[in-house]
Structure 1
Amino acid sequence: MTDTPDSARDYRDTVFLPKTDFPMKAGLAAKEPAILERWEKIGLYDRLRRERQGRERFILHDGPPYANGDIHMGHAMNKVLKDIIVRSQSLMGKDAPYVPGWDCHGLPIEWKVEEAYRAKKLNKDEVPVAQFRAECRAYAEKWVAVQRAQFERLGVMGDWADPYLTMKFDAEAAIVGELLKFAESGQLYRGAKPVMWSPVEKTALAEAEVEYEDVVSTQIDVAFEIIDAPNAPELVGAHAVIWTTTPWTIPVNQALSYGPEIEYAIVEIVGGESHDAPLKSLGRFLIAEQLQPEFAQRVAMKLAPFTDLQIRWTGKGSQLEGATARHPIYNYLRHPGESRGPASSGEGSGTPGQARGDGVSEAALAFFAKPRPFLPGDFVTTDAGTGLVHMSPDHGEDDFLLCKQYGLDPVFAVDGAGMYRDDWAWLGGQGSVINKKFVAADGPICTDLRAAGALLAASDDFAHSYPHSWRSKAKVIFRATPQWFIPMDRSATSDLPGAGRSAEVGSQGEPSPLDNGATLREIALDAIAATRWVPARAENRIRAMVEGRPDWVISRQRAWGVPIALYVNRATGEYLNDPSVNARILAAFKAGGADAWFAADHQALLGAEYKLADYEVINDILDVWFDSGSTHAFVIEARYGEGTRANLYLEGSDQHRGWFQSSLLESSGTRGRAPYDAVLTHGFALDQTGRKMSKSLGNVVDPLKIIQESGADILRMWVASTDYFDDVKIGKEVLATASDSYRKLRNTFRYLLGALDGFSAAEKVPVRDMPDLERYVLHRLGMIDVELKAAADGYEFNRYLRLLTDFAQDDLSAFFFDVRKDSLYCDAPTDIKRRSYRTVLDILFHALVRYAAPILCFTAEEVWQARFPSEDDSVHFLEWPELPALPGDDAASTEWRDVRALRVQVTEAIEPLRREKRVRSSLEANVTVPEALLPVEALAELFIVAKVTEGDEVSVTPSDYHKCGRCWRLLPEVTVDGDLCDRCAEVVA
């Protein structure tokens, strides 16, 4: 009804137009806080728990974010997705509690407190531990409060009055209790092996705390003089060449490794005048035969002109068995002022390292005096380098394992700050080893190697990926230190160094899951297979990580966390495993939290049976991943009963190596299974061009700003619209698309509210008495209902939202509402067609507002209150709609699909006449169709045209009927424009 007919009588006051106060302009940013206040006032979350008590429970366990800083888009995406799932499960009638939580211990928070100290030029190590821990606790408390308000503003519904915090006393007690379960079952050991270590933060790091960045490093070729080779005597006097990109590990070299099946060669430089005399004077070099070209390229710059490398000997790597070499710096340290090398010309003495002095004591030299054995290594390849690898068991996993096999132990020459210890014979007191200047081609290490005549090539140009601490952004190193480990491949019956497995194991609980001979890795892999992974490909990722991961390093050398509450016997090195002592430890933690350990009367905790003087008190803290990996114990089981598992864990894809895995390992080691039934992984939020958000790039999209400007429901709609199983993009254009979809859906609700003005139960029509169109729309609703429920069960909310918005736009606004507006506006209120339409609109309203509620939690509430205002009611108390039963209408549905397709053709055929102004609207058109799928009168109403006839093809002509002055339809009974048709005359009368 867009045109006013030429008539003296204006019938607009007789038309039943929709009426509603529901505004088209959302104004979400202003309305949402008031809705939040109302939910808090009526106790929405707590009332839902009471009302759903006894129902099937659905537990989505919240992975704890760190309590430091305002939330970012990743936080917002994660929390909104969780809330949508929890609300959808609640809508399906389940008891779906949501307990938010925070990770409050560990390096991220401690680092922030340290930054404050550094800004004041204070040394954190000089502050009493109790004071420092109190400041960390206060910092975490501050940000928990800030983030809680921000998450609530997103519309996230949960137990905000009682969230879980890993720093609460009961949580800290539960964490140490989980640790003691591992201890009592013999699943702990203390050993010295290389772990990722941050010299800046002075602590071991978990893999999940490390990120990889592209760097340019120094690469060097170093010669080791062969002093013995029982299987190939001709090698004696030659120099084995190693290539490395970590020059700082040369001072702790203990061996050389070769590939037994690799073909090696002794090569000699032929031709050329060397700018570096030792390069030629050393004479013969042992390298992998196929790596000659690469080696020649690296040393060529030192020779002018360079001619060739001539092979003097070839043989299998196996012939190197039993061979030994001399550390290249040994003679140099003994005689610092002399030139080096067996045939050195004296050139290249360089500037020696400052710590060398005029000679080093024999005691200090003992490490460098020992011959370096050649050891077979299956990890040695000919992909790069020389085919020989220098071994530093302090600083490499392969190095450590191979050297340990041959009795070579770490020497701990590099301290926690990355400096060589003061008494180290070479470069003692110097570092840091991650300092680019220190390891550069002109730095102290290369300078001394050059002076020793052992540096064949060095350049600061090797580009590669290198691990960095994700907190400090500084390089990390592999460093052997005494740490506490949970073994991956040892059953409970295995010998564990440093483990104090007691005969009383199990006296406080169930036997260890490992008592059947299985290993933690095997149990975890079985648990992965028994878990539902969404998307399914995620299973392969975590399986590969668990299959290849080393033993779990659970200790950290920091102050803010849960201590590894153990006593180690000074004589035997085994930790005390006494259930009575453990019970007293647990009681102390429950009363005073983790702080109790640092201020404890340890003799009282040990009891009369043990003397404190005989035991070392362990003050290392637990890896925070052990903290968060234990949350299932003090959140899920503590609140819902022992043995209860979460239905779902949901986090970003990085948590396959983080929380998903630490929770899996913790639960597998203590309960023999995963703590979850299913795991959902989402991607990361990127900027509009697909780049990672970064303050330096200036492309950060702030969720708090979006909420302030557009409202949380727009952000929630964006989250639901994304294919969040992969990385997603967000920016102005993306949000504009979400806003447009929101506007259309809001308009649908506005129309429903207006069209249902004054509707009551007395007006309802049974489905059996409804016209075919209404029955068809209900059939479509039933089909959509099934698909929506399947999408919700599959956590596919992008499909869920698309189904909802497409139905509202295509089936309703563009079709059903359009066709039936004539009946709504002009039929008599008692007309069965109009009543049927309004009955279906009522059913649609109740269904759509429920479907939308999990995603548009604020708007759905506004819509519900607009129709059913109440001080203490909420749309979120409602359950999934119960739709009226329909007879099998599949055939009718197919027929209606064809009718709708024909309607599209008719609309397209009318459009040229509208552009030519031969008709002002479709009401003025007569249409010919090749086949009348319904009675022509019904088709005319569906197509919103004057008349439909059958013919050869779809065609349109202007109608010569006159227009009704009320409904504006062109009908044969209207003889003069502006007169009333029979229906309108009856209604007006």
Structure 2
Amino acid sequence: MCADTPEYKDTLNLPQTDFPMRAGLPKREPAWLQRWADMDIYGRLRDKAKDGSRQPFTLHDGPPYANGHLHIGHALNKTIKDMIVRSHQMMGFDSRYVPGWDCHGLPIEWKIEEQYRAKGKNKDEVNVVDFRRECRAFAEKWVDIQREEFKRLGITGNWDDPYLTMDYHAEAVIAEEFMKFLMNGTLYQGSKPVMWSPVEKTALAEAEIEYHDHKSHTIWVPFAVASGADTLADARVVIWTTTPWTIPSNKAVAFNPKIAYGLYRVDATQDESWTNPGDLYLFADALAEDALTKSRVTEFTRVRDVDAAEFDGMILKHPFAGLDGANGFWDYDVPMIDGDHVTDDAGTGFVHTAPSHGADDYECFVKRNWIDRMTHNVGEESEFLPHVPFFAGLKVLDHKGKEGKANTAVIDKLVEAGGIIARGRVTHSYPHSWRSKAPVIFRNTPQWFAAIDRPAGGDDTYGKTIRERALTSIDQLVKFTPQSGRNRLYAMIETRPDWVLSRQRAWGVPLTCFVKKGALPTDDDFLLRDAAVNKRIFDAFETDGADAWYADGAKARFIGDAANPDDYEQVFDVLDVWFDSGSTHAFVLRDRADGTADGFADVYMEGTDQHRGWFHSSLLQACGTKGRAPYRNVVTHGFTLDEKGNKMSKSLGNTIVPEEVVKQYGADILRLWVAQTDYSTDQRIGPEILKGTADSYRRLRNTMRFMLGSLAQFDESQRVAPADMPELEQWVLHRLAELDHRVRNGYATFDFQGVFSAVFNFATVDLSAFYFDIRKDALYCDGDTLRANAARTVLDILFHRLTTWLAPILVFTMEEVWLERFPGDDSSVHLQDIPETPADWLNEPLAAKWAKVRQARRVVTAALEIQRTDKVIGASLEAAPVVHVRDADMLAALKSVNFDDICITSALTLSGDPLPSEAFRMPEIEGVGVVFEKAEGQKCQRCWKILPDVGTHSHAGTCKRCDEALG
């Protein structure tokens, strides 16, 4: 557009900036991090709130585990949190962020044990306090490593003083929170089946379980009728199970009255069938044929319907009843019981019931008050205990989680006893420990529970029990983003069992309670409940941490004169780490100076797996101690997949490591990927996606570079009031007002994709491709004119909004842009707020008018592009098109503006005449046609417009506008 003529080139107001086209982020970002640390940006932002002018806003950090380097999920999670914190700070809040770490628990303990095993050491021979100190040192090392990795991603926060669940105060408060359950009566010791890891030798919570395909034995086992059903005395009830090892613990067989059952007779079989002609079996009708076929029955007869009422009072014999060498171990009644959990989708329509090894089985026995019939046949290594005939010492799983000998031994004994009619293998989804990746078993073992349906005491505004308070909180107090998170969490809370609090490990906060020797868990004096005892425990933990529980003489020290210490046993189980993290609201939000006044967080934000994890445990814990949820908003993100939508794994070679992305592209590109994705669902990332992200970044960087260059010479004396600006500038202000609302609302509702999409489209389409394209001529070639000064004023307004709108996302780049214009030791975009935008900038009539202008411009631009492609012209300034417009309102709008400048042509004629047949048209824009004409005159050597008056002014080779600009 502008001339190369030497005598005029220096007279143009060309952009001037040192802002580089190439970002060089990987090398330059660390320097900005150091600068922010030297400036203490986070501390200075807190200082802004000391006068009480800013409303606090607190995102409470769900603690990552201090174990290993960061993965892409960590980067996604922390970046979203950072965007929430920064955006609310720039919208006028005092936005606090205290990062934290989960430091106790099995993963760390497991690593120390692995080190022991490599050295041939036995953990059980190491002093427990020494072992705990090794775990603490391991966690400290990884906290330091992960802290630096998080900081490298541009995450702001109180990094110098994070919270750690292993800090002494934290351990004291966790114990104190546990003792509230002790005192309010919701803590109890129960014997019930829990998910047990034989590899890790501890109970696991649902949040510690993941499901993988597993190949299991399947067996069809007939139970003979012992009594209670004369009409079915010769029949046998067939069950199907994928856990043969639980047969020795069978105590009942369940049926469902809603299922259609039948009596079936075997008529013929293949060789080697475990059935015989004449045998009578009971099946659900929908499953009989499949089961009999699996039993190698070739012909059978359905003898008659069997009403489920016939099962009432029926007693069966255990398949091992009466076996020689069993000493009567299984010579007990096996009742038929009804259960809603029984279906005819698979199996036989009857369910083998071992209440010590199944949740549904257990509930059936609780309902009937048959808890005294529970078995204790399997030990902590999944081994049959010594009292179990035939199988003592055999394991379900070995120490590595591989199949032991228990299943095949039970099957072989069933074959020997005539207690099996078919067997097979099936691959199905089965629970595994997410740490060891090994299968788990359901095992009856004494554990400590928090009862969620007992009155919990305290504030009962939202209900009397933990479950009632949790469900009411979800309905009335918490907003979920996305809303589907509400339904998921509600459903989990609605149906969940009591909370298993205890773990049989060493690295954690112990269950600080004492039980009376000889008392039963149901006795009123089973647990020692004494406020003075609790206070002594809390004070000791504050001073010495939870290691104080393991010190010599601890029991006598803590019990003191409250009771005779010899009458009590000290509990040495440790708390589920989910109780640790669920209690963080108390020692972070409540107790820290940078916590919250009321102890509640504005936002909890984690991955969707935390509906059964941290969101869940925090809700239960707080409802037990505070009476309500500890959060007002729950924001959830999905999982990160590769470009093809596959789960990332090292074996597939499709993992994306944050450190590698940062080394290649810089942290801002990774942050931009987060902003561009819909985090509420699963996201994809990979080399091609990152290339696309980098391209978006370059386009945005070009926009910022143009603004910086054009503002190099702007000063306040050139500022133009909005009311005095040309319409084009007023239209830009209108768009800014619209966007300001969109950005603020988007940030307030955690919609970063919506924010970035709106700002990016505005910057690249409305600005770079439209406004900047039009105003380059005025900015470069005008002298001290209203038009040029209005454009620079708008650029200044744009600069302050675009940099602050985008600073929460592109933390490094917007700092670079800001410092390019406002250098200084104390200067930072992150100390700014998003500027308030006057409401009167909104001008809907003007916007409607300019919508018509832009429509017509599209037709002109497209018509000229054809001429350029055909080499008729080289640039749009060589054209002087005739634009025919059918609509009178549009024509009037075009005539009221400098439409030739808008279309970047040297001249342009507007006509209301009918559209000529040869006129160029666009189907989607009716009533506008363009007839191409070449511009007449000579080319101005300064602005390159082709005009008739060029060469008639005092400055040779210039047009009137340029002659006046030269003076």
TM over 0.5: yes
Matched, 1:328 2:290: no
Equivalent residue letter for 2:894: L
Asked whether the equivalents of residues 356 and 376 of structure 2 are also in contact (C-alpha less than 8 Å), the reply is yes
Task: Give the equivalent residue in structure 2 for 1:736.
Answer: 691
CA apart distance, 1:406? 5.1
**Higher deviation after alignment, 178-187 or 314-323:** 314-323
Give secondary structure in 2 for the equivalent of 1:784.
helix
User: 1:606-625 to 2 correspondence within 5 Å?
Assistant: 606-625=559-578
Asked whether the equivalents of residues 269 and 276 of structure 2 are also in contact (C-alpha less than 8 Å), the reply is no
Q: 1:697 to 1:976 in 2, by over 3 A?
A: farther
Matched, 1:456 2:403: no
Task: Give the equivalent residue in structure 2 for 1:538.
Answer: 485
CA apart distance, 1:451? 1.1
1:391 alignment partner, one of 353, 361, 364: 353
Matched, 1:551 2:498: yes
Give secondary structure in 1 for the equivalent of 2:29.
helix
Asked whether the equivalents of residues 274 and 280 of structure 1 are also in contact (C-alpha less than 8 Å), the reply is no
Matched, 1:868 2:832: no
In structure 1, distance between residues paired with 2:616 and 2:390: 41
Task: Give the equivalent residue in structure 1 for 2:431.
Answer: 467
Asked whether the equivalents of residues 221 and 242 of structure 1 are also in contact (C-alpha less than 8 Å), the reply is yes
CA apart distance, 1:23? 0.6
In structure 1, distance between residues paired with 2:128 and 2:115: 16
Equivalent residue letter for 1:731: G
Task: Give the equivalent residue in structure 2 for 1:303.
Answer: none
Q: 1:32 to 1:635 in 2, by over 3 A?
A: same
Equivalent residue letter for 1:284: L
Task: Give the equivalent residue in structure 2 for 1:717.
Answer: 672
The CA deviation string for residues 186-245 of structure 1, in whole angstroms up to 9 with x for no partner, is 11111001111111111111101101112221110112222212xx21333432211111
Task: Give the equivalent residue in structure 2 for 1:376.
Answer: 338
Task: Give the equivalent residue in structure 2 for 1:339.
Answer: none
Asked whether the equivalents of residues 197 and 203 of structure 1 are also in contact (C-alpha less than 8 Å), the reply is yes
In structure 2, distance between residues paired with 1:487 and 1:515: 19
Matched, 1:88 2:87: yes
Give secondary structure in 2 for the equivalent of 1:650.
strand
TM-score (norm: length of structure 1): 0.91
Aligned pair count?
A: 928
Task: Give the equivalent residue in structure 2 for 1:12.
Answer: 9
In structure 2, distance between residues paired with 1:680 and 1:647: 11
What do you get for the CA RMSD once the two structures are aligned?
2.0
CA apart distance, 1:38? 0.6
Task: Give the equivalent residue in structure 1 for 2:105.
Answer: 106
1:572 alignment partner, one of 508, 519, 544: 519
TM-score (norm: length of structure 2): 0.93
In structure 1, distance between residues paired with 2:518 and 2:597: 39
Task: Give the equivalent residue in structure 1 for 2:543.
Answer: 591
Q: 1:243 to 1:42 in 2, by over 3 A?
A: same
Give secondary structure in 2 for the equivalent of 1:673.
coil
CA apart distance, 1:515? 9.7
Asked whether the equivalents of residues 853 and 860 of structure 1 are also in contact (C-alpha less than 8 Å), the reply is yes
Task: Give the equivalent residue in structure 1 for 2:471.
Answer: 525
Give secondary structure in 1 for the equivalent of 2:672.
helix
In structure 2, distance between residues paired with 1:716 and 1:568: 52
User: 1:110-509 to 2 correspondence within 5 Å?
Assistant: 110-229=109-228, 232-272=229-269, 274-276=271-273, 279-280=275-276, 283-300=279-296, 306-312=297-303, 314-332=305-323, 334=324, 359-360=325-326, 362=327, 365=328, 367-404=329-366, 405=368, 407=370, 408-433=372-397, 438=404, 443-460=408-425, 462-492=426-456
Q: 1:698 to 1:710 in 2, by over 3 A?
A: same
Task: Give the equivalent residue in structure 1 for 2:588.
Answer: 635
CA apart distance, 1:87? 0.4
Give secondary structure in 2 for the equivalent of 1:562.
coil
The CA deviation string for residues 868-919 of structure 1, in whole angstroms up to 9 with x for no partner, is 1111221111011133564652111111111111111111000111122221
Give secondary structure in 1 for the equivalent of 2:67.
coil
Q: 1:233 to 1:920 in 2, by over 3 A?
A: same
In structure 2, distance between residues paired with 1:949 and 1:265: 91
In structure 2, distance between residues paired with 1:16 and 1:643: 57
Task: Give the equivalent residue in structure 1 for 2:921.
Answer: none
Equivalent residue letter for 1:310: T
Q: 1:107 to 1:436 in 2, by over 3 A?
A: closer
Asked whether the equivalents of residues 737 and 842 of structure 2 are also in contact (C-alpha less than 8 Å), the reply is no
In structure 1, distance between residues paired with 2:489 and 2:354: 30
The CA deviation string for residues 478-515 of structure 1, in whole angstroms up to 9 with x for no partner, is 111101111122224xxxxxxxxxxxxxxxxxx52359
In structure 1, distance between residues paired with 2:258 and 2:89: 63
The CA deviation string for residues 305-347 of structure 1, in whole angstroms up to 9 with x for no partner, is x442234454222222222222212333x1xxxxxxxxxxxxx
CA apart distance, 1:281? 7.6
Give secondary structure in 2 for the equivalent of 1:330.
coil
The CA deviation string for residues 157-196 of structure 1, in whole angstroms up to 9 with x for no partner, is 0000000000000001111111111111111111001111
Q: 1:406 to 1:280 in 2, by over 3 A?
A: farther
Asked whether the equivalents of residues 248 and 433 of structure 1 are also in contact (C-alpha less than 8 Å), the reply is no
Q: 1:701 to 1:273 in 2, by over 3 A?
A: closer
CA apart distance, 1:108? 1.7
Asked whether the equivalents of residues 737 and 841 of structure 2 are also in contact (C-alpha less than 8 Å), the reply is no
Equivalent residue letter for 2:585: H
In structure 1, distance between residues paired with 2:459 and 2:246: 40
Task: Give the equivalent residue in structure 2 for 1:29.
Answer: 26
Give secondary structure in 2 for the equivalent of 1:619.
coil
In structure 2, distance between residues paired with 1:736 and 1:976: 52
Asked whether the equivalents of residues 16 and 825 of structure 1 are also in contact (C-alpha less than 8 Å), the reply is yes
1:773 alignment partner, one of 728, 733, 746: 728
CA apart distance, 1:950? 2.1
Asked whether the equivalents of residues 895 and 910 of structure 2 are also in contact (C-alpha less than 8 Å), the reply is no
Equivalent residue letter for 1:713: D
Q: 1:567 to 1:369 in 2, by over 3 A?
A: same
CA apart distance, 1:850? 0.8
Q: 1:514 to 1:775 in 2, by over 3 A?
A: closer
Give secondary structure in 2 for the equivalent of 1:871.
coil
**Gap runs ≥5 in structure 2:** 521-525, 886-890, 916-928
CA apart distance, 1:274? 4.0
**Gap runs ≥5 in structure 1:** 301-305, 335-358, 493-510
Q: 1:135 to 1:437 in 2, by over 3 A?
A: closer
CA apart distance, 1:282? 8.5
Equivalent residue letter for 1:607: G
Matched, 1:919 2:865: no
User: 1:497-896 to 2 correspondence within 5 Å?
Assistant: 511-513=457-459, 518-530=464-476, 531-573=478-520, 574-599=526-551, 601-639=554-592, 640=595, 643-828=598-783, 830-883=784-837, 886=840, 889-896=843-850
Q: 1:891 to 1:936 in 2, by over 3 A?
A: closer
Give secondary structure in 2 for the equivalent of 1:926.
coil
Equivalent residue letter for 2:534: N
Asked whether the equivalents of residues 197 and 204 of structure 2 are also in contact (C-alpha less than 8 Å), the reply is yes
In structure 1, distance between residues paired with 2:14 and 2:463: 77
In structure 2, distance between residues paired with 1:985 and 1:452: 112
The CA deviation string for residues 346-390 of structure 1, in whole angstroms up to 9 with x for no partner, is xxxxxxxxxxxxx35x3xx4x312122222223222222122211
In structure 2, distance between residues paired with 1:936 and 1:401: 80
1:963 alignment partner, one of 936, 939, 961: 939
In structure 2, distance between residues paired with 1:449 and 1:158: 63
Give secondary structure in 1 for the equivalent of 2:110.
helix
Asked whether the equivalents of residues 629 and 666 of structure 1 are also in contact (C-alpha less than 8 Å), the reply is yes
In structure 2, distance between residues paired with 1:604 and 1:260: 58
Asked whether the equivalents of residues 514 and 520 of structure 1 are also in contact (C-alpha less than 8 Å), the reply is no
In structure 2, distance between residues paired with 1:481 and 1:328: 25
